[in-house]
Structure 1
Amino acid sequence: DRSFKSFADLKGLKIGVTAPNSSSHFFVLYLMAKAGLMPSDASFVGVGGGERAVEAMKTGEIDAISNLDPVITRLQRDGAIRIVVDSRLPRVNYGIFGGTNPAAVLYARQEFIAANPAAIQALVNAFYKTLRWIATATTDEIVDTVPVEYFLGDRAIYVKALKANLLVYSRTGIISRQGMNSALKMMATFDPDLLDKKIDLQRTFDDRFIKRAAVLFDDPTNSDLELDERRPEVDLSSFRD
């Protein structure tokens, strides 16, 4: 809609997000809060991250959308949307959040982590190896590993979407202190339960496993590989391929 001038114009709109309480939902809530709006000033519809989202936007079921690729690239190509903020661009993230803002992360309940350290380490190892591979692979090599169901019917769209996102992929998998603070600041703008709360971020972001993955695969790019002496050790011998 060409009449959109600021995030305050989101008031009263029906906004499509991947799912309630997802990162795409939180992103809109943060933008609304910065414009002085409350979460209740708009309505939200979970539309997923595939054809359903494309259809919802094109048929007018929703007025605006906060979503991921390849949905956004597809809608943009079809002339169905006008992008007003693009978090695929690092400079945009720095402008909005003052730095990086971790969104797609591996998370689990503390009880599960404590009871299943080998399973957690195996998952983190897989993610770490994938990130390192993505950093050196060609676009076609990456797309060749993706099931065709994710292409939204057009491989070229997925290729274009991937290229648009490569700059925001982590190379190390480590969430920086700035990233932790950025995530907390974002959440606190619209979640009253977090206002004026003292939260120890070191207890909510556990980087033991990603640091061990870097050591295990002998990667020199992680600058801080010391194990946290305050946490129990995990035997690495059972985590090798």
Structure 2
Amino acid sequence: MNRRLARLSRLARAAAAASLTFCLLLKPAAFAQAGAPEKIVIMVGGITKLIYLPVRLTEQLGYFKAEGLDVELLSQPAGVDAETELLTGAVQGVVGFYDHTIYLQAKGEEVKTIVVFGQVPGEVALVASRAAGSIKSMADVKGKTLGVTGLGSSTHFLTQYLAYLNGVPASQYTVLPVGADSSFIAAIRQGRIDVGMTTEPTVSQLLKNGDARVLVDMRNVEGTRAALGGTYPASSLYMQTAWLEANPKEAAGLARAFVRTLQYLHTHSAEEIAARMPKDYAGNDKALYVSALNASLPMYTADGKMPADGPPTVLKVLSGFSPSVKGRHIDLSRTFTNRFVDDVKP
């Protein structure tokens, strides 16, 4: 009996030891899985553009980490490419123009903007200096080549609408996708486009060097209302509605991080903000970058909320020329929500 009890005791100790070993091996992996935040990948339609500066600045200031978020930022030169990445599930969010949410609803996709960074496009239609003598307004672009970042991009939408407002249908000019930043500058300098739409700091670079002149300026509320008839909410964070419903905690964390950055933009100088950005953003001319940033600060919202007159203006623009939107019923209430930014405490 004693031998049997001793044998059972040895078996019990062995089983306990095996169980303990298994738990010790399992525990770190299980703990890491339970404790580590799920990565959120956000695609930005040209991360070095000043219209999207709040995104990288949020990362630089450490606000994502402060919310317990693991955020990876990727960049695409055109918003339409980022949109494709979102729909395929390759990324969880896109920082691009709000107008994509309307366009996507017309195609049967449910996408919502949850933070608005720019109450205006921040875009400028530039005419190449060599063509400035014959192109005085968008009414003069008949037979010309117009540069946009990409076909189906927001610059494409706006270029078409401005030409349409000035009596020039899309059949009477050529649209050429030329990307942004250095590729846009090259397209102007090489004579491949006569007019092009782009943002800061590219605008200031071309103006400083005398390569282009301003044709339509939408870097501020006054210029945007003159060109489009109202405010035009542009740069924003939009995500698939299904993801938002499944991940409200993460969405709220993103909203808090971005609104905190927007408040930072309204309480610090252009010099202080530029100092927080990666050094390569300013290129070889820091003074030019600071000047362009200073001119861009009024376009950023202070609270991330959608301007009341914004969605109807954007819908009007898209309905003016886009076959995908024209004549379609669009429920604007399904294209954005202030729910997450409304919960951010000042």
Q: What interval of TM-score do these two structures reach, taking the shorter chain for normalisation?
A: 0.7 to 0.9
2:266 aligned partner: 135
2:213 aligned partner: 82
2:316 aligned partner: 185
Q: Which amino acid aligns with 1:123?
A: L
Per the TM alignment, residue 74 of structure 1 is displaced from its structure 2 partner at its CA by: 0.4
Give me the CA root mean square deviation: 1.6
The answer as to 2:170 corresponding to 1:39 is yes
Measured against aligned partners, the alpha-carbon deviations of 1:92-151 in whole angstroms (never above 9, x if no partner) come to 111122221011011112122222222222222221111000000111111012223322
Match of 2:299 among 168, 185, 208: 168
Q: Distance in 2 between matches of 1:86 and 1:191?
A: 22
Alignment of 1:1-241 (within 5 A): 1-213=132-344, 218-219=345-346
Runs of 4 or more above 3 Å deviation: none
Q: Distance in 2 between matches of 1:152 and 1:16?
A: 23
Bigger radius of gyration, 1 or 2?
2
TM-score scaled to structure 2, two decimals? Answer: 0.59
Structure 1: stretches of 5+ with no match in the other structure: 220-241
Q: Which amino acid aligns with 1:212?
A: D
Contact preservation (8 Å) 1:8, 1:32: yes
Per the TM alignment, residue 33 of structure 1 is displaced from its structure 2 partner at its CA by: 1.3
Contact preservation (8 Å) 1:50, 1:150: no
Q: Which amino acid aligns with 2:243?
A: F
Contact preservation (8 Å) 2:262, 2:302: yes
Contact preservation (8 Å) 2:318, 2:326: no
TM-score scaled to structure 1, two decimals? Answer: 0.83
CA 1:121–1:12 in structure 2 vs 1: closer, same or farther (change >3 Å)? farther
- Which secondary structure does the structure 2 equivalent of 1:44 belong to? strand
Stretch of structure 1 that moved more, 142-151 or 64-73? 142-151
Q: Distance in 1 between matches of 2:283 and 2:192?
A: 19
Structure 2: stretches of 5+ with no match in the other structure: 1-131
Q: Which amino acid aligns with 1:163?
A: N
Q: Distance in 2 between matches of 1:145 and 1:44?
A: 37
Per the TM alignment, residue 87 of structure 1 is displaced from its structure 2 partner at its CA by: 0.5
CA 1:123–1:43 in structure 2 vs 1: closer, same or farther (change >3 Å)? farther
Q: Which amino acid aligns with 1:198?
A: H
1:238 aligned partner: none
Q: Distance in 1 between matches of 2:281 and 2:154?
A: 19
- Which secondary structure does the structure 1 equivalent of 2:277 belong to? coil
Q: Distance in 2 between matches of 1:48 and 1:188?
A: 25
Q: Percent identity?
A: 34
CA 1:172–1:158 in structure 2 vs 1: closer, same or farther (change >3 Å)? same
Q: Distance in 2 between matches of 1:203 and 1:67?
A: 29
Q: Which amino acid aligns with 1:100?
A: T
Contact preservation (8 Å) 1:70, 1:152: no
Q: Which amino acid aligns with 2:306?
A: I
